[in-house]
């Protein structure tokens, strides 16, 4: 095999070296000015880094599509909850333990999947108002021994106990149980359950903080603040107002209409009265040690949710 050898021939200084093969066939002459940036060979020029605009725009567009997905999907629900929980983490840690935040994330994902952003907003407002009421006069409540544990930071059992009925309504809505005719009922039951729980929490916490006189609901005997089954005028009024507020929010975001909002308020007060009777008669009594606050909460919100659904059928369907 022949090996080509290139030799350099002297050429005028301005032209630079010319490479010539042994067969005396010259290559095209190229003049280089190495100190001229504009005349540098293309291979030596630094090219700007290409930014994958399509990739960034595609990712951003995909994120927007997930947020706006209608009806919501599990993917969009998880994505939106991750974003909201990251942004709202300072508020979450003030009212929930770490495991409580995990339970709340599952609740938020389920709520978004069933009822979209409006349902999630309703639950978020429930959490914010309830946490604010719990934090009121915390030092005084701790001194009197009636404060919630861990300075009001709720754990997973509290989250589950407060949302069990709402979660059932969410699952019934997601899987279309009863068809389109029942879809509105599950939505109403969902809102009513949180109206009931917020009314209960607010009346209890405001009563502990500001209640001047508390009465046992079964005998109307004056008892210390924080007694199971005890009520106060201040707490009762606060609970009614909290229920009206959350039901009004449900109207504004389109979860329920005005007649259904009234039903939610009425159902919540009946359920809360029933819970007070249950607490006074059975809670912490011999043979009913299992009937703790979380169990009573489940019963309370279930009654509120069921009552709202039944009242809607009896009153509004006729």
Distance CA 145, CA 194 (A): 27
Backbone angles phi, psi at 217, to 5 degrees: -65, -25
Is residue 195 domain-resident? yes
- State whether 216 and 126 are in the same domain: yes
Question: Is residue 20's pLDDT more than 50?
Answer: no
Is residue 42 domain-resident? no
- State whether 194 and 294 are in the same domain: yes
Residue 35 has a pLDDT of 46
How do residues 68-115 score in pLDDT, each as one tens digit?
666 889 999 999 999 999 999 999 999 999 999 999 999 999 999 999
- State whether 123 and 173 are in the same domain: yes
Range 147-165 average pLDDT: 92
Burial class (CB in 10 A: 0-12, 13-18, 19+), 3: exposed
Is residue 67 domain-resident? no
- State whether 79 and 181 are in the same domain: yes
Angle 305-174-111 from CA coordinates, rounded to 5°: 65
Question: Is residue 265's pLDDT more than 90?
Answer: yes
Question: Is residue 157's pLDDT more than 50?
Answer: yes
- State whether 102 and 221 are in the same domain: yes
- State whether 146 and 24 are in the same domain: no
Is residue 15 domain-resident? yes
- State whether 107 and 164 are in the same domain: yes
Is residue 65 domain-resident? no
Is residue 114 domain-resident? yes
- State whether 14 and 92 are in the same domain: no
- Average pLDDT of the chain is 84
Backbone angles phi, psi at 189, to 5 degrees: -60, -35
- State whether 272 and 139 are in the same domain: yes
- State whether 288 and 149 are in the same domain: yes
pLDDT band for position 292 (50/70/90)? confident
Q: Evaluate whether 203 touches 230 at the Cβ level (below 8 Å).
A: no
The count of domains in the chain is: 2
> Which position has the token pair 């993917």?
75
Residue 71 has a pLDDT of 80
Question: Is residue 25's pLDDT more than 80?
Answer: no
Range 182-189 average pLDDT: 96
Question: Is residue 231's pLDDT more than 50?
Answer: yes
- State whether 182 and 293 are in the same domain: yes
Is residue 247 domain-resident? yes
- State whether 176 and 277 are in the same domain: yes
From start to end of the chain, where are the E strands? 7-9, 18-20, 214-216, 222-223, 230-232
Which residues have CB under 8 Å from 237's CB, separation 6+? Answer: none
Residue-range definition of the domain harbouring residue 90: 73-316
Question: Is residue 221's pLDDT more than 50?
Answer: yes
Of 41 and 185, which is predicted with more confidence? 185
Is residue 150 domain-resident? yes
Lowest-pLDDT range, 29-33, 73-77, 96-100, 197-201? Answer: 29-33
Distance CA 208, CA 152 (A): 13
Range 60-69 average pLDDT: 62
């Amino acid at each position: 095999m022949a090996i080509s050898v290139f030799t350099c021939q002297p050429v005028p200084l301005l032209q630079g070296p010319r490479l010539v093969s042994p067969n005396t066939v010259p290559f095209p002459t190229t003049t280089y000015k190495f100190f001229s940036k504009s005349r540098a060979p293309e291979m030596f020029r630094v090219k700007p880094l290409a930014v994958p605009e399509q990739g960034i725009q595609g990712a951003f567009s995909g994120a927007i599509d997930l947020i706006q997905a209608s009806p919501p999907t599990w993917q969009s629900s998880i994505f939106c909850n991750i974003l909201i929980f990251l942004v709202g983490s300072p508020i979450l840690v003030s009212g929930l333990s770490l495991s409580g935040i995990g339970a709340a994330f599952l609740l938020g994902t389920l709520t978004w999947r069933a009822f979209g952003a409006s349902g999630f907003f309703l639950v978020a407002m429930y959490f914010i108002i309830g946490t604010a009421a719990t934090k009121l006069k915390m030092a005084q409540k701790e001194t009197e021994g009636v404060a919630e544990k861990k300075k009001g930071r709720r754990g997973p059992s509290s989250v589950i106990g407060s949302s069990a009925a709402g979660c059932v309504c969410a699952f019934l809505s997601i899987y279309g149980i009863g068809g389109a005719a029942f879809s509105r009922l599950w939505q109403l039951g969902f809102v009513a359950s949180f109206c009931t729980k917020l009314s209960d929490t607010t009346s209890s916490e405001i009563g502990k903080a500001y209640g001047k006189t508390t009465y046992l609901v079964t005998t109307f005997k004056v008892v210390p603040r924080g007694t199971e089954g005890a009520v106060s005028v201040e707490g009762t009024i606060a609970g009614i107002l909290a229920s009206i507020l959350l039901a009004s929010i449900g109207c504004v975001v389109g979860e329920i209409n005005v007649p259904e909002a009234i039903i939610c308020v009425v159902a919540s007060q009946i359920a809360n009265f029933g819970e007070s009777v249950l607490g006074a008669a059975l809670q912490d009594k011999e043979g009913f040690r299992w009937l703790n606050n979380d169990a009573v909460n489940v019963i309370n919100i279930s009654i509120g949710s069921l009552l709202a659904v039944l009242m809607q059928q009896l009153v509004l369907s006729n």
